[in-house]
Amino acid sequence: MKDQGQFQKFQDPFVTAKGETRAQVALTDPQTLWFNTGTLCNIECENCYILSSPTNDALVYLTADEVTDYLDQLDDRNWAVREIGFTGGEPFMNPAMIDMTERALARGYDVLILTNAMQPMMRKRVRAGLLDLRERYGDKLTLRISVDHWSADLHDKERGRGSFARTLDGMFWLRDNGFQMTVAGRTVWGENDAQSRAGYAAFYAENDFNIDAQDPMQTVLFPEMDEMVDVPEITTDCWDILDKSPTQVMCASSRMVVRHKGADKPSVIACTLLPYDRQFELGHSLEEAEKPVQLNHPHCAKFCVLGGASCSA
């Protein structure tokens, strides 16, 4: 029988169900500022981290001027950010995506775009914009492609029939035009890490993709997120027990800007995985977002602390 205390987990931001002090993470070394360009997506995955779909506009499109405002704030706050990340939804659904990318690149940042490389990216106008950015900024721009499994059958199980082939078409175009690509996969298929990476290595070799399957920054394998699975709460004592440092957790080095539907301006949140949980909304400015984050969610434990995963490059 499960411990009855589990039903009270992740309730108090400062104290666990067992009455222990909950761990928190300070923003110690900001490296990545993420922008969620909106939750609308051209497909609906079986297990999307933030429920993106063709109808979910809970996070509305950011504008290029809003991105510029936060880039200005980075200068004002002297954050040592090296990377601007764009995620969604599908970022190329946002009509300002090329403009937003250009504004970040023009400031000297590395830019990472998370995409499924399908029809939104392959529109003529978008491809022309990407080619222009590639010509001017080279490998300062990286596209991380969602390939949930190296086989078509399992990838399509997650993303729908035919999605693997359409993503491949986009990857071929990126390959042939000299873009820097990485891949994001999932670890839910009953394979161990070595088996997964061997499968991706064969997939890359077969398609002449210049991606290293063994490099966790080039082939990022994410655990599945299931809020119904019982996971331990992270206390202040856990850092020593697990031989981990709070500085290794994603919210020590990143923040994400979103705009909730109906809001009059964007907000800064602590985590790319938790855009709907208002306890992780830190304010409207980067200055407000410098406050520490209480690890009061199952994703904090499973994905970040125990899983060691990070959305950033």
Residue 15 lies in a domain: no
Residue 17 lies in a domain: no
Residue 233 lies in a domain: no
Residue 21 lies in a domain: no
Residue 235 lies in a domain: no
**Number of other CB atoms surrounding residue 45 within 10 Å:** 18
What domain count does the chain have?
Answer: 1
Residue 302 lies in a domain: no
The domain of 162 spans 28-226+251-291
Which residues of the chain are modeled with pLDDT < 50? 1-6
Residue 114 lies in a domain: yes
pLDDT of amino acid 136: 98
Closest CA to 62 of 251, 261, 253: 261
pLDDT of amino acid 208: 98
Residue 188 lies in a domain: yes
Q: What is the CATH number of the domain that holds 45?
A: 3.20.20.70
Evaluate whether 289 touches 255 at the Cβ level (below 8 Å).
Answer: yes
DSSP string, the chain: ---GGGGGTT-SSSB-TTSPBBPEE---S--EEEEE--SB-SS--TT-TT--BSS--SBPPPPHHHHHHHHHHHHHHT----EEEEESS-GGGSTTHHHHHHHHHHTT-EEEEEE--SHHHHSHHHHHHHHHHHHHHGGGEEEEEE-S-SSHHHHHHHH-TTHHHHHHHHHHHHHHTT-EEEEEEES-SS--HHHHHHHHHHHHHHHT----TT-TTTEEEEPP--TTS--PPPBTTHHHHHT--GGGSGGGTEEEEE-BTT-SS-EEES-TT-SS-GGGEEESSTTGGGS-EE--SHHIIIIIIIT---S--
pLDDT of amino acid 115: 98
pLDDT of amino acid 209: 98
**Number of other CB atoms surrounding residue 307 within 10 Å:** 17
Evaluate whether 228 touches 289 at the Cβ level (below 8 Å).
Answer: no
